Amino acid sequence: MFYVHYSRKSKLFFLYFLNLIRVTNTCNQKLKHKTNAQKVNDGIHLFFFG
């Protein structure tokens, strides 16, 4: 057995990380028909402003 103690900060970071993955996957699905340049642009915009 092994037990991992998560501090509040690392829990929040983990949730943020999961959310980032989810947002990225959603973006990729929405942007399949766009060019790579547009994908990168929209990805950056969502990362900073979404």
Q: CA 6, CA 21: separation in Å to the nearest integer?
A: 20
Q: Percentage of the chain with pLDDT > 70?
A: 66
Q: State yes or no: pLDDT of 18 exceeds 70.
A: yes
Q: What is the tens place of the pLDDT at every residue in 26-45?
A: 767 776 656 677 777 777 77
What's residue 36's pLDDT?
72
Q: Quick one: three-class SS letters along 1-50?
A: CCCCCCCHHHHHHHHHHHHHHHHHHHHHHHCCCCCHHHHHHHHHHHHHHC
* Domain segments of the chain as ranges: 1-22+35-50
- pTM strictly above 0.75: no
